[in-house]
Structures are given as structure tokens and as C-alpha cells.
Structure 1
């Protein structure tokens, strides 16, 4: 009651409303973050921590695990990651043997592509393509190894071994010496021999099957076989010529002139940009240097999205296709839980803290303790991107110096902690009244 005498009623109402407003904002934000976990875009503090600046930058970025997402650009790392995901997916949903085989095919493609064929046409000679395609006469089928897909140029050459051509209408006809379809007297195409037609259709099927790559093969095509991404190096041979190979090297670290960059890969460009940024961050002293770093950082983020975007899309498609293999009963087990990581634990603590402290502040229960803990949380949100002189500004429209929205909210919470707002209007008042009643009964019984 003494507090009410010293403070005006308007101030009391406003302080209580401030406490409840912050509590509602904490509660709603915590619940919203929880709700997103079952959506296609679950909330994560990864982006915020990745962009951390200031003296604690390294600490917060290390919590992400891979702040620059270089692991997404490493085939071996991603391949191992997918193997681990596959094992957890099988265990969580309890896939049977047939489903596991289909998942393996989805991930690695077919080991062998098969097309039925009773016999080889007389004009077909497979000796030149023995490493690519084989004929199993006993079972009557053509075989192509999945790891060595049939190239379009090879398929055209194999089809050309028999006198069959496709007309403009899409029909097959016998091919003449001039390469054009042979025609009957009435102008209709001459049908090809049955064996020749079966051969062409078998090659068509094998070409189609070979084009259906597994996700790991698509990953290799992006991270190992794309010259724009990984670059091309010319290695000097004994004959004095350069043999092209996939990859990029740093000319500053080269010791011998046995290599030459034919094409500089975009992945190496991204790594060079990161190195330039880290070096510039250590020596930046003027506003001009810091503005240059801010511009460079935006370019780095754009380059990161450009390079990792296709790989992330590939992984998303893999997981979506894997879910299609499940039965309704298996789907009812819920989504595959993410692996426990430091970032995951930090996200869980953030959501739990926001929700729990929001409830306490909103209902005025242990309001002083909740306000202090809320202030500590807001300071933790403040430190990754502090608006201090010499620290690159945080992305977004906000402009601040020393004090930003997070720090203002932390100071407001400390002010709430200094006042018994929970006793004025909240469960703290009921608790105090209840303890007072118990204490009064205790004294009366002693008397």
C-alpha cells in the first residue's frame, strides 16, 4: 500500500500495461516460433547468428556450426550428411525392405538399367561400346550400368546401327541410304524389321532410364562436374600439354608451374571473398573501410545464396520424394526429428524462454524474477549485432548508436523488476495475500 501512496495511479496503470505488453509480445513470439517447426520453413536463429558482428562475432557464428555454409558446397560432406539422414529416416519411420530399396534407388539411382530385347539385330556390333552396354542373351535384355549412364551421343550411335528412322509424325520407318524414310508407292512409310524396331525402342528406354539420375549423382554433377562452380585446372603432362581437370587452385599458394587455371570456379570466388572480408574486418578503422565491408558482406550473402540455393533445393526435393514412399501409418509417426546441435539447443531455449517468461510477465507471477531474466535474454539478442562505433551495421532499416530496440526493452524490463507490478495487478498479489493469511493464522494459533 505504501507503493500506491508514493506513485500516481496513472503511473501504476502504465507500468502494469508495460509489463503485460512485453509479456504478451514474448508469449506470442515464442508460440509463433513453435508453430513454424511443423511447416516447410521452421524458425531458426541461424541467419541472425550467422550475420553476427562486433567483439563476440566468432562466438555467435560458431554456434551455427557452418556459418558460411561451406559444407553445402563440399560433395563428401553432403554425401555423408545424406547417408546419416537416410539411416535416421529408415529408423524413425520403420521402412520395410522394399521401401529401403526404393529409398536407395532414389538416393543413388538404379545400379543397372534394363531393357528387354530377345535378340540383337545382325547389323549391331557392341564391341565399341562394351564398357557402356551389354546384352544378356540368356535372359533377353540389354544392360547399362547405372554409374556410367548412356550419353545422348552414344544412344544416337547405337540407334544408327540399324536402318530405322523416326518420321515427322513420330512413327518409325525403314531408313534409306540417303538417311530419309523409305516410302511405299502410295507415299506411306515402309515399316522397319521387327528386330530392328525392338532394338531402337530398347535404346530409347535405356536413354530415358539413364537420364533419371539419383540425387547423389545430381549432387556430384553440381559439386564435381560443373566447371562454372568448381572451375577447371590444366595439369601439365609429360608431353608438355595441359590435361583439363575439374577444380580451382589458389595461384598464391602454388609452388610449381605444373598447373594452370583454365576457368576460375565460383566456389573458389566465394571463398576468396570470405577471406577478403575477414582480412578487411581486422584492419577496418575508417567509415569508408566499414562501408566497403558492408557492401562486400551483401555481395557475399548473395553469392552464398546463389551457390547453396540449388543444393538446398535438391535436398528438399529428396526429402519430399522420400516422404512419398511412406504409408499413412508411417506418416502418423510425425516428422523426422532434427539432429541435436548447439544451434538446435539454443533455438529450443529461446522458444522456451520467450514462452515461459511471457506467461509469467503477462499474469504477474514472479514478475520481478521474470523481468530480470527477460532483460538478460534481450541483452543476449543485443550482443550479436551491437550498434557500437566501429562495428558494421546490422542489415535492415534500423539506425542506432549504442541503444537499439533490444536494449530499450532490456532497460524497460529492469525498470519493471524494480517495481512490484505483480503485486499491484497480478498473481504475485494473490500469492502475497495468501501467504499473509497463512502467516496470520499461524500467529493466531500460537497465541
Structure 2
């Protein structure tokens, strides 16, 4: 029971800390760094949860313009722009598209994009090669981090231009339109759902384990979560070491140990001993145990019962 409560406290505090940081401007929790730099067997799956993880579409002129147009159309529809407002929004979009044309045609930009795509292809080739040597994988992991800095530098100007475009189009809405429709909320991405499920999943699992509510299910969910964390950057031979790890590990780390503890808790009805599960399901459990004892007693031979 103490183990259940301790793990529940760990989950609850981690979840509440992420929820609190998300409420503070500029400090929103995101699992993107952990997903982006995964090195384990599930790394391709984790990186695939990030929309346009390598910014391939953001660095494509047609895709970039299409995303801007979609943003403008979404804002116009949200505020129910009239024709005059839509015309002004299209002019703002045209200015941004002209800016993008100049940016993509710049000689230095072309060279930086070409270099980025070439180096990204080399890294992906090593990551996808099952016969790659351990030192090659370590170099590829280090190179991916360098490439991420190049990627963020490349898309910074276009991202800023897109943000300015959205702000300019939003300002076309009248105060009455803004008041009645409220702020524009962009559609949630896969990463947004991962962030939400991580934050609130930790909170829910923590509360259930502490209170002994659906404790086997909560423990099993915690084991699945910890298993995913373990497989994202496992301390296995031939894989790069986790730079965020506290301490030094080989095969076994604290995530694996806590996962095994959760699996053990999923098989032990501690919530039925002390917890809300005892109030909700304790009577049913006692009746089941009594029926089993009676069945065993009736199945015993008469000579055994007489003794």
C-alpha cells in the first residue's frame, strides 16, 4: 500500500507540475523534445507524433503558402468576415506570399535549405539502417540535435511572418465580431493531444493510486506509460546515452523499475484492502471469496471433513 501511494504521489506531482507550467505564459508543457530526440526502437513512432517533425512542409514554398491561406480562411470564417474584410485579408495574404517568394529565392536561403536536407537525409539513412554500428548511431543522434538548431533557425523568419499575418487578419475583425466569436483557437494537433493526455493522465493515475480507486487499472496504465518512456531512450548497448538521465544506467533504469512495480501493483488488490475500491467492490470480493471457500469445503472428501 505504501508503494502504491508513493508511486501515485510521484505521478500526481509530475502531472500537477506540468499543468501549472502550462497555465503560465511562455512556459507551456510540451513533450516535443522527448519525442523528437528519442533513440529507442519506438523512436520513429514517437517522432511521428510531432506534426511536420523535420519541417519539410514548412520549408516547401507551396506548402507554406497553403498553410497561411488556411489560417486566413479559418480566421475569416470564425469572425464571419464580410466581403470587404475578406478582400483586405487577401491583401495581407498576398503580401506574405510575396515575402515568402523573396525568402525562398534568396541565394543564402537556398544553400542553407539544401545543406539541411542533405544532412537530414544522411541522419535518417543511419537511423533506418538496422546494421548501423553503435558509434554511427551516436553520431547520428548528436547530428540530429545540431540539425534541429539549423531547422529552427531556418523556419524562424517564416514562422514570425505567419504569426504577423494571423495577427493582422485578426485585427480586421470589429470589436463586436471579436466579442461575439471569441479568440480563434487553432485545430489541435497530435502533439497537443499527447501533451494533454500526458498531463491529465498523470494526474488521474496519481489520484487513483493514492485513493485506491480502480487501483489495478491505474497501476496498469502507469506501467504502460512508463514502458513508453523507457522505450523512447532505453539504456541499451549500441544506443546513445540519454542526456537527460539522472545517473548512469545499463539496461535497467528507474523507469523500468517503477514500471515493474506498477505491474506488481496491478496484480495485488491493495485498493480492496485500504482504499475506495474496498468501499465500492469490497462486498462483492468478500462474497466471492466466501463462495469459493464453501465450494472448496463441499468438494473435500467426507473423511477429510470428519478429521
The answer to whether 1:99 aligns with 2:85 is yes
Q: Is the 8 A contact 2:230 2:255 kept in 1?
A: yes
Write the deviation string for residues 166-209 of structure 1: whole angstroms up to 9, x where unpaired.
xxxxxxxxxxxxxxxxxxxxxxxxxxxxxxxxxxxxxxxxxxxx
Q: Distance in 1 between matches of 2:175 and 2:244?
A: 44
Write the deviation string for residues 322-361 of structure 1: whole angstroms up to 9, x where unpaired.
3333344444544433335444444444345334323322
Q: Is the 8 A contact 2:9 2:206 kept in 1?
A: no
Greater share of strand residues, 1 or 2?
Answer: 1
Gaps of at least 5 residues in structure 1 are: 1-11, 109-213, 231-264, 440-447
Select which of 150, 155, 160 maps to 1:303: 150
Give the deviation of 1:27 after TM superposition.
Answer: 4.0
Give the deviation of 1:433 after TM superposition.
Answer: 4.9
Q: Distance in 2 between matches of 1:353 and 1:330?
A: 36
Q: Is the 8 A contact 1:54 1:391 kept in 2?
A: yes
Alignment length, in residue pairs? Answer: 284
Gaps of at least 5 residues in structure 2 are: 289-307
Matches within 5 A, 1:416-427: 416-427=265-276
SS at match of 1:383: helix
Matches within 5 A, 1:1-20: 12=1, 14-20=2-8
Greater share of helix residues, 1 or 2?
Answer: 2
Superposition TM-score, scaled by structure 1 size: 0.56
Counterpart in the other structure of 1:53: 39
Superposition TM-score, scaled by structure 2 size: 0.78
Write the deviation string for residues 77-114 of structure 1: whole angstroms up to 9, x where unpaired.
00011111111211222223333233222222xxxxxx
The answer to whether 1:68 aligns with 2:54 is yes
Q: Is the 8 A contact 2:78 2:184 kept in 1?
A: yes
Write the deviation string for residues 38-93 of structure 1: whole angstroms up to 9, x where unpaired.
x5565443333222223332232233242211211111100011111111211222
Q: Is the 8 A contact 2:19 2:29 kept in 1?
A: no
Counterpart in the other structure of 1:5: none
RMSD: 3.0
Counterpart in the other structure of 1:284: 132
Counterpart in the other structure of 2:120: 274
Q: Which has the higher contact order (CA 8 A, sep 6+)?
A: 2
Q: Distance in 2 between matches of 1:382 and 1:334?
A: 41
| Larger CA Rg, structure 1 vs 2 | 1
Q: Distance in 2 between matches of 1:436 and 1:403?
A: 36
